[in-house]
Chain A
């Protein structure tokens, strides 16, 4: 059975800072009572228990399984020996599928999409935004796996990506820019990160000549950069289409 006692104690130290910030400001700075105190306390206890189970579950299931699959997908038995980068096509498809499915499922992206829908007065559709972002993440993670397979240094991609984002920013409609930049950070959340990080580390440890420290990380960076491009592009395309209609 899993030893859950220590994780629970550790997690208490992690939840404590948020709790003390919120309670401290409410009681000491604003000097106001906490509305629905009982409910709020129950909420905090649930967050504590939930986080602990979540982390324990990840370490039990998602991390090992993700690593195992990455190892299997990249092993010579599956790819064949003397593989060149094209032979890893299942890896790229897997990366795309994982990127897309985890992003569609992302609760924090949903939260931002709902907020954007409200604030934009309905002109930004929740589902279009989620799918646009998910496609961005999927493309980003596939390209990131290609980078690990070929061993091209990450900063070439990232710096080129920055340049593309800046050029797009210049042409994109002003109202979308802040939201597009935000979608970069939003996409990679609790579900995506562990699976994607495991994929990267697994790839880098099976492919000869790759160092997990240097090549294993960086997939999440791709997943945070490409949605910015896809959202900006989406806005540019819809903007172009509506103007042509007029």
Chain B
């Protein structure tokens, strides 16, 4: 129990260090540049406390449950040697980690409320709009991880895939409605964060180290890059169809 508390305190300190620069920047601008007081101070302090505690519990829980599980599975699947199951697992991993991504949830909700303010959707459509946007992004991340794993197995060069991805983005940009372009480009960056990155990186580097002839440095990385491109294309297609 004492050990748990110590680790937890350490994690809380880490999260506090992670958040401190942002608090400093915001404090500096609000108090010194703008020379304003901080409104609803109680709410802000309470909210920041939630964010801090939430981030700590989240990271702590990841290390306790998700990471060990994910690593054990990635290695076991490579050992089993079935490519089909490996690909199904990759898709499921990409989809599963993205659908739970807090940053994506936040941005999808913002996107929906902005779309509503702009008269694009009715209030009743708010929830479904955000939901379908999230599922669109999650499915495309699933496909990206699948593609990334296939690339590592087959040894395809990353540059070719990325150039192909860039071309797809440019082509869909030409046809997508203007109001979706910004949201689409953003969802590329949003998809890949705290839950996704470590799991997917562990999978890529693990795979590249266990397959002969692959270099973990040139082949193990790159999965996140693909997972940042495909969602852009997927969301623009979502925009054309909505």
**Interface status of B129 (Cβ within 8 A of chain A):** no
Interface-centre pick from B38, B52, B53, B201 (highest chain A CB count, 10 A): B201
Whole-angstrom CA separation of A134 from B64 in the bound complex: 29
Contacting pair B55 A50 (CB below 8 A): yes
**Interface status of B237 (Cβ within 8 A of chain A):** no
Interface size on B, residues (CB 8 A): 113
* Nearest CB in chain A to that of B109: its residue: A59
Q: Size class of A's contact patch?
A: 35 or more
Whole-angstrom CA separation of A91 from B29 in the bound complex: 10
Contacting pair A43 B25 (CB below 8 A): no
Chain B residue contacts of A240, Cβ below 8 A: none
Whole-angstrom CA separation of A59 from B205 in the bound complex: 35
Chain A residue contacts of B153, Cβ below 8 A: none
**Interface status of A246 (Cβ within 8 A of chain B):** no
Contacting pair B51 A189 (CB below 8 A): no
Contacting pair A193 B190 (CB below 8 A): yes
Contacting pair B198 A111 (CB below 8 A): yes
Whole-angstrom CA separation of A59 from B50 in the bound complex: 10
* A-B interface pairs (CB < 8 A), number: 363
Chain A residue contacts of B170, Cβ below 8 A: 155, 159, 162
Q: What's the dominant secondary structure at chain B's contact region?
A: helix
Q: What's the dominant secondary structure at chain A's contact region?
A: helix
Could you tell me the distance in whole angstroms from the C-beta of A6 to the nearest C-beta in chain B? 12
Could you tell me the distance in whole angstroms from the C-beta of A62 to the nearest C-beta in chain B? 7
Which residue of A40, A44, A115, A175 contacts B218 across the interface (Cβ within 8 Å)? A175
Could you tell me the distance in whole angstroms from the C-beta of B154 to the nearest C-beta in chain A? 15
Could you tell me the distance in whole angstroms from the C-beta of B60 to the nearest C-beta in chain A? 6
Interface residues of A in 48-87 (CB under 8 A from B): 48-65, 68-69, 72-73, 78
Chain B residue contacts of A68, Cβ below 8 A: 39
Q: Mark A88-105, 1 if CB is under 8 A from B, else 0.
A: 001000100110111011
Name B's A-contacting residues (CB within 8 A). 17-22, 24-26, 28-30, 33-34, 36, 38-40, 43-66, 68-70, 72-73, 76-77, 80, 85, 89, 92-93, 95-97, 99-100, 102-103, 105-107, 110-111, 114-115, 117-118, 120, 158-159, 162-163, 166, 169-170, 173, 178-179, 181-183, 185-186, 188-198, 201-202, 205, 216-225, 227-228, 232
